[in-house]
């Protein structure tokens, strides 16, 4: 199976909210202390994604000391009144993320778009430009900034949690989205450990807990740009100095 080279990105933000599912029911959300793999995949997809590839986040290095701050949010009620709820955010975060991509085997109809060198070149350029879409740290109010870094920068950067081992307990890992009408949306949870500031993410098949949430088939969209068209656009933008 094809596997791209590893890519590395620095992600920073003033606030982050990786909501713990246990806190959703009461309306007062609380963040996990570290990002989930699903949240980081969303950020990487915002840098560069196409249906013909699948981005795989393998590691994250937590650079800053974990700090939380509570914000009071006033929610409007249907009866015209309001209610005050509290959200526990992470504050002043910085993460170094290691990832790669593989071909999306669920879309064999897109094999003509499996051109590795061009996808890798576009990913590198997208990292240099800070991504193609707006990036968020778990919630839309938590804006993120992404900057591509080298493998050496990733390895040489020292985490606040260097020479420490932290047991984070059972955490949400990721979703497995249905690829046809017979599949179901599934969620995965796993025990998580941070060693020297680094969390190495398991594959979904290695997660201890799997939940079936709902049956919701995903349709296929037409009109996708080919990687050749994407590559030519980037070359044109570079000529124009964009």
pLDDT, tens digit (0-9, with 9 covering 90-100), for 125-164: 999 999 999 999 999 999 999 999 999 999 999 999 999 9
Q: Is the separation of the CB atoms in 206 and 190 below 8 Å?
A: yes
pLDDT tens track for 86-125 = 899 999 999 999 999 999 998 899 999 999 999 999 999 9
State CA 94 to chain mean position distance: 14
Which of 220, 148, 143, 215 has the alpha carbon at shortest distance from 183? 215
Mean pLDDT over residues 61-84, rounded?
84
Cα distance between residue 146 and residue 60, in whole Å: 14
Structure tokens, 148: 């591509």
Spatial separation of the C-alpha atoms in residues 148 and 75, rounded to whole Å: 38
Q: How far apart are CA 38 and CA 44, in angstroms?
A: 10
pTM of structure: 0.86
What domains appear along the chain, each with residue ranges and CATH number? 7-239 (3.30.70.2660)
Q: What are the tens digits of pLDDT across the range 161-190? A: 999 999 999 999 999 988 877 788 999 999
- Round to whole Å and give the CA distance between 35 and 197: 12
Q: Which residue has the tokens 């526990």?
A: 88
At 138 the pLDDT is 95
d(CA 179, CA 184): 9
At 149 the pLDDT is 98
Backbone phi, then psi, for 85, in 5-degree steps?
Answer: -125, 160
**Is 113:18 a contact under the CB 8 Å cutoff?**
no
- 166: tokens are 């932290």
The single-letter DSSP state of residue 219 is: P
Instruction: Give me the pLDDT at residue 229, please.
Output: 80
Q: Tell me if residue 175 falls in helix, strand or coil.
A: strand
Name the strand (E) or helix (H) holding 18.
none
């Amino acid at each position: 199976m094809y596997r791209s080279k590893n890519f590395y990105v620095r992600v920073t933000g003033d606030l982050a909210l990786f909501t713990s599912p246990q806190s959703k029911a009461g309306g007062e959300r609380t963040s996990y202390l570290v990002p989930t793999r699903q949240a980081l995949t969303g950020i990487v997809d915002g840098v560069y994604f196409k249906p013909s590839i699948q981005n795989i986040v393998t590691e994250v290095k937590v650079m800053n000391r974990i700090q939380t701050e509570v914000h009071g949010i006033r929610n409007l009620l249907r009866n015209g009144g309001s209610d005050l709820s509290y959200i526990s955010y992470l504050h002043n975060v910085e993460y170094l993320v290691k990832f790669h991509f593989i071909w999306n085997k669920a879309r064999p109809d897109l094999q003509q778009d499996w051109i590795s060198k061009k996808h890798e070149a576009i990913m590198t350029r997208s990292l240099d430009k800070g991504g193609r879409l707006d990036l968020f740290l778990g919630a839309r109010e938590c804006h993120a900034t992404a900057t591509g870094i080298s493998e050496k920068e990733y390895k040489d950067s020292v985490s606040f949690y260097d020479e420490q081992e932290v047991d984070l307990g059972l955490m949400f890992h990721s979703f497995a989205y249905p690829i046809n009408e017979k599949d179901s949306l599934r969620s995965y949870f796993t025990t998580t450990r941070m060693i020297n500031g680094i969390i190495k993410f398991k594959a979904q098949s290695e997660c201890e807990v799997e939940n079936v949430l709902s049956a919701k088939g995903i349709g296929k969209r037409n009109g996708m740009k080919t990687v050749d068209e994407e590559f030519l656009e980037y070359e044109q933008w570079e000529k124009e100095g964009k």
